[in-house]
Chains A and B, each alone.
Chain A
Amino acid sequence: ELQLMESGGGLVQPGGSLRLSCATSGFTFSACRMGWVRQAPGKGLEWVASINQDGRERPYLDSVKGRFTVSRDNSKNSLYLQMNSLRVEDTAVYYCARVDWYYGLDVWGQGTTVTVSS
């Protein structure tokens, strides 16, 4: 069974940092692009960042460039999102998703909640 499991969310003050993790199983992680999508409370979906198989291609949403870093560890089948200089507007549920070359965003985790507040 394909599974994605996010962790690492929590409450953080503006300017603080958090590191999200996404543990995967049930598929060949090293062969897949991966991505992070977020959803602010009561709002729609917003793509945040993606990473290709070897980690060399990492496009970001403009508003998170220079603050967020996506990475992966293929030996651990895991995806990460390091979030620095967090802002109130980064408050959201963060989902990791598999990016299949044919199906697109075809498998999603259950999400982890990030709350940025003083």
Chain B
Amino acid sequence: QSVLTQPPSASGTPGQRVIISCSGTTSNIGNKFVDWFQQFPGMAPRLLIYRSDRRPAGVPDRFSGSKSGTSASLAISGLRSEDEAFYYCAAWDDKLSGPWVFGGGTRLTVL
């Protein structure tokens, strides 16, 4: 069982906006940044959002992250078929020496 809680699945039609939630506690999300990763089957994870709401270079601005209290969200607007993948949230501490905790992952289906 994962420390962070995500819905196992989400879906949307092309062009729609989809939101994936991630729930934690004051010991992780409540006091730490949240990262989001995208993973296609058989591939390595890719950093999608860091420090809760920032996008690395090359990530489309259709992807956005937010955090409030002990929960975080990943929003994907203008959904595209190539967004169909698994999405994982993770929380880390600012010393970068302690453990990361991950969510169980959300499988996004584009209908």
Contacts and interface: CB of A to CB of B under 8 A. Distances in A.
B105 interface: yes
10 contacts: A33-B96, A33-B97, A45-B37, A45-B105, A47-B102, A61-B99, A95-B44, A104-B50, A108-B45, A108-B47
Interface string A89-118: 000000100010111111111110000000
Contacts of B33: 104
A101 B96 contact: yes
B86 to A, nearest CB: 8
Given A33-B97, A110-B43, 18 more contacts: A46-B102, A50-B97, A50-B99, A59-B98, A95-B44, A95-B45, A99-B96, A101-B96, A102-B50, A102-B51, A104-B35, A104-B47, A105-B47, A106-B47, A106-B56, A108-B45, A108-B46, A108-B47
Interface residues of A, number: 25
Interface of A: 33, 35, 37, 44-47, 50, 52, 57, 59, 61, 95, 99, 101-111
Given A104-B47, A105-B47, A109-B44, A44 B96 contact: no
Interface string B81-108: 0000000101010001111111111000
B45 to A, nearest CB: 6
Which of B37, B47, B96, B102 counts the most chain A CB atoms within 10 A? B96
Q: Which 8 A-B pairs have the closest CB atoms?
A: A47-B100, A108-B44, A44-B105, A45-B102, A44-B104, A57-B97, A103-B50, A104-B35
Interface of B: 2, 33, 35, 37, 43-47, 50-51, 56, 88, 90, 92, 96-105
Contacts of A37: 45, 100
